[in-house]
Amino acid sequence: NAGVTQTPKFQVLKTGQSMTLQCAQDMNHNSMYWYRQDPGMGLRLIYYSASEGTTDKGEVPNGYNVSRLNKREFSLRLESAAPSQTSVYFCASSVGTGPGTEAFFGQGTRLTVV
Amino acid sequence: GDSVTQMEGPVTLSEEAFLTINCTYTATGYPSLFWYVQYPGEGLQLLLKATKADDKGSNKGFEATYRKETTSFHLEKGSVQVSDSAVYFCALRPLSGYSTLTFGKGTMLLVSP
């Protein structure tokens, strides 16, 4: 039962470097999300994809881009990493976006930008 | 916009104590409400949910009742265990449109033997 799989689990970047965080789900879910978790801030939505072929900005999209590669995969790209992007990143998926729909989360990627 | 407010932690309890973690929300209409739990080093897991007023969600001894009159969804457990030590997040999903989950800031629970 893989669920939502994120890679890598840990990453250290230098300021200005780029990288892509990968996320894949095997639950045939339509909707996928990227959140970041910072101390005292809870989880904040970066981008989401309500369905394959669509993406929308969340609360904190600046400095990020996303790609919904297919129904299973939703990647998050940092084009030029900044120390403010040091965080734990979580990918999640859900059947849809309707009322009562729960989201399933991956294990997270801990990113440090130095 | 929609928002969720949780009591600040950490909440420190002895084993077998009664737990309450307060959660209130601001939203248009009647959103769905959720409690998620995050154990150290892991992702979030759904603990329980409620989708309409007066619904009670329950799981693993935890309960929360959707109170529209007080816009609250407080989490309770009658007797906590050391293994309940974790961070608990309250969240809402609005009723309409392409809705996403909005989370509170989380409340850390520490249970000592």
- Stretch B77-99: mean pLDDT, rounded? 91
**In the prediction, which pLDDT does B98 show?**
64
Do the Cβ atoms of B33 and B46 come closer than 8 Å? no
Candidates A90, A100, A106; nearest CB to B32: A100
Percent of chain B exceeding pLDDT 90 equals 85
What is the DSSP code (8-state) at residue A107?
A: -
Percent of chain B with pLDDT over 70: 98
- Residue A102 to residue B34, Cβ atoms within 8 A: yes
Q: In this model, does residue A92 exceed pLDDT 90?
A: yes
How many interchain CB pairs under 8 A, A with B?
Answer: 60
Mean pLDDT in residue range A1-6: 89
Output the pLDDT for position A16.
Answer: 97
Q: What's phi and psi for A83, nearest 5 deg?
A: -55, -30
Interchain contact, A97 vs B99, CB within 8 Å: yes
Higher pLDDT, B23 or B97: B23
End-to-end CA distance of chain B: 41
A14-52 pLDDT, tens digit per residue, is 999 999 999 999 999 999 999 999 988 889 999 999 999
B104 touches chain A (CB under 8 A): yes
Q: What is the DSSP letter of A97?
A: S
Q: Return the CA Rg of chain B.
A: 14
* Residue B61 reports pLDDT greater than 80: yes
A42, A35, A56: which is closest to A107 by C-alpha? A35
pLDDT at B43: 92
Contacts of B101 in chain A (CB under 8 A): 33, 45, 92, 103
Q: Look at B109 and A2; give whichever has higher pLDDT.
A: B109
Question: Under 8 Å CB-to-CB from B94, ≥6 apart: which residues?
Answer: B2, B27, B28, B29, B31, B102
Average pLDDT over residues B53-62: 96
Q: What is the pLDDT of residue A40?
A: 85
Q: Is B83 in a helix, a strand, or coil?
A: helix
Residue range A57-69, pLDDT digits in tens: 999 999 999 999 9
B26 contacts B3 by C-beta, under 8 angstroms: yes
CA distance B37 to B43: 8
First to last CA, chain A: 35
Task: Return the pLDDT at B97.
Answer: 65
Please report the sign of the dihedral spanned by the C-alpha atoms of residue A50, residue A19, residue B89, residue B60. Answer: positive
Residue with more model confidence, B79 or B1 = B79
Nearest CA in chain A to B95: A99
B4 beta partners: B25
Instruction: State the average pLDDT for chain B.
Output: 94
What pLDDT does residue A102 have? 92
Q: Which residues from chain B sit within 8 angstroms of residue A104, using beta carbons?
A: 46
Other Cβ atoms within 10 Å of B16 Cβ, number:
11
State whether A50 and B103 contact (CB < 8 Å).
no
Query: d(Cα B63, Cα A85) in Å, to the nearest integer?
Result: 36
Say if residue A109's pLDDT is above 70: yes
Task: Please tell me the distance in Å from B42's CA to the nearest CA on chain A.
Answer: 5
User: In sequence order, what DSSP letters do the residues of A15-84 get, joined into one string?
Assistant: TT--EEEEEEE-S--SEEEEEEEETTTEEEEEEEESSTT--EE-S--TTEEEEE-SSSBEEEEESS--GG
Share of chain A above pLDDT 70, in %: 99
Using the predicted structure, report yes or no on whether residue B65 has a pLDDT greater than 70: yes
